Amino acid sequence: MTAISRAQVLAFRYAAHDLDPAAPDQGGETVLATGIQDYPPGRSAALALRLRTSTPPPTVLLHSIRGAMHLHRAADLPRLAAALRIEDVRDLPPQSIGPFGADLAGEGIAFDTALDEVATAMRTAIPDGRSLTKGELSGLVSPEVDQRLRPRCESCGAAHVHDQLFRRATLQAGLAIEVDTTTPSQFRYRPADPLPPADPVESRATLVRDFLATFGPARPAHLASWLAITPKAARRWWDLIADELGPVELDGTKYWTHIDHLDRLQTTDPTALHGTRLLPPYDPLTELADRHLLVPDAAHRKTVWRPAANPGILLLDTEIAGTWRQHRSGDHLTLKLHPFTTPPTQLRNAATPDASTIATQSNASTTTLQLD
């Protein structure tokens, strides 16, 4: 079994995520294949992509991985819909679906049947050229579906389609998300451009390959966490490409990589990758479950991954070396950098290119970098 180091894994992901300023612009293709989470809506995904490429392909915002909003290549919608169409509610962990999953199973309702019913109602509710808010769409769809799919919600005092089912059904209905740039965090649903359907088995195999291209090496448990499916379901997905995988040893633990990536893992020189990057909250680099690998120090992990409102990430070469937050006053943007340790002398100058991109993305006319 090939032994690899943590430094090699970080270098592999750094390159795969198009973060090397000296490398050719890949158009963000690798991270778009697995998706760039957008949270709050309209705040992070477009910036994460802009920091990686000046030539992105056509994109679309969807409820995809875990039902969360992610930015993807527009052409990938059919593949994602086919791959993420959960047939059995028991493939979703309780923390994802709550007691609603047990209720569906008890009623003998297959989850894919529920998805199809809600998706059909959504397509009927939104004809071409129209867009609706989530409340408007829910108000039209909920009365049209089986009452067992619309439990009473105590927080809003109404019966409506369960939120996780609603989110996942928008993907099956081919609905894209439009964020109102004038009112941050406000969004609407509209029909995406129609494309031919994809094969579900091959779509899942492709998604696992894309996962390993972006987040590898990994283990089936990492795939389960990323997709918010049970370990048993993740193993079925994993086995679709089992003959394409090879084991590697990382800190005494067996991981798996796609055989096409092994040479790159072994030959990439971590000491040759240099750059200072300012990545937004919920950047793809931080989205895998192996937080202990990314940030070994427990106190530092608590500053990177918060219960709510994650900060941006300060990346020095291939290491997460601190966080940053922004404050806006009029047209002026202040970025406050919080390195974990004493920063390099030239940190402010090295961070200026990304700071300028962040300011441009937020339509700020001037920006200031502050070191804490």
Contact predicate 12/216, CB 8 Å: yes
| CB neighbour list of residue 13: distance below 8 Å, 6 or more residues apart | 214, 215, 285, 318
**CA 213, CA 33: separation in Å to the nearest integer?**
9
272 φ/ψ angles, rounded to the nearest 5 degrees: -90, -5
140 φ/ψ angles, rounded to the nearest 5 degrees: -80, -35
| CB neighbour list of residue 283: distance below 8 Å, 6 or more residues apart | 36, 44, 48, 312, 313
SS3 string, the chain, reads: CEEECHHHHHHHHHHHCCCCCCCCCCCCHHHHHHCEECCCCCCCHHHHHHCCCCCCCCEEEEECHHHCEEEEEHHHHHHHHHHCCCCCHHHCCHHHHCHHHHHHHHHCCCHHHHHHHHHHHHHHHCCCCCCEEHHHHHHHHHHHCCHHHCCEECCCCEECCCHHHHHHHHHHCCEEEEECCCCCCCEEEEECCCCCCCCHHHHHHHHHHHHHHHHCCECHHHHHHHHCCCHHHHHHHHHCCHHHEEEEEECCEEEEEEHHHHHHHHHCCHHHCCCEEEECCCCHHHCCCCHHHHCCCHHHHHHHCCCCCCCEEEEECCEEEEEEEEEEECCEEEEEEEECCCCCCCHHHHHHHHHHHHHHHCCCCEEEEEEC
- Checking if the pLDDT of 181 tops 80, the result is no
Considering the chain, what percentage of its residues have pLDDT values greater than 90?
A: 78
Q: Region 109-129: what's the mean pLDDT?
A: 93
Beta pairing, strands 2-4 & 245-250: parallel
Q: What is the pLDDT of residue 14?
A: 95
Please state the separation of Cα 366 from the chain's center in Å: 30
Q: Tokens representing 180? A: 């109102």
What pTM value is reported for the model?
0.94
329 φ/ψ angles, rounded to the nearest 5 degrees: -135, 105
**CA 96, CA 87: separation in Å to the nearest integer?**
15
Q: What is the pLDDT of residue 35?
A: 97
* Of 223, 212, 290, 284, residue with least CA distance to 251: 290
CA distances from 284 to 35, 103, 205 (A): 8, 34, 20
Q: In the predicted model, what is the mean pLDDT of the chain?
A: 93
Q: 152-161, 209-218, 331-340: which has the minimum mean pLDDT?
A: 152-161
Q: Region 197-225: what's the mean pLDDT?
A: 97
pLDDT band at 335 (very low <50, low <70, confident <90, very high): very high
- Checking if the pLDDT of 342 tops 90, the result is no
22 φ/ψ angles, rounded to the nearest 5 degrees: -85, -10
Beta pairing, strands 158-159 & 152-153: antiparallel
Considering the chain, what percentage of its residues have pLDDT values greater than 70?
A: 99
| CB neighbour list of residue 113: distance below 8 Å, 6 or more residues apart | none
Q: Tokens representing 181? A: 């740039």
pLDDT band at 289 (very low <50, low <70, confident <90, very high): confident
What are the beta bridge partners of residue 185?
none
Q: What are the tens digits of pLDDT across the range 362-372?
A: 899 889 999 88
Integer-rounded Cα Rg, in Å, for the chain is 21
**CA 321, CA 284: separation in Å to the nearest integer?**
16
Handedness of CA 143, 144, 147, 152 (dihedral sign): negative
Q: What are the tens digits of pLDDT across the range 125-170?
A: 998 778 999 999 999 999 999 999 998 877 777 889 999 999 999 9
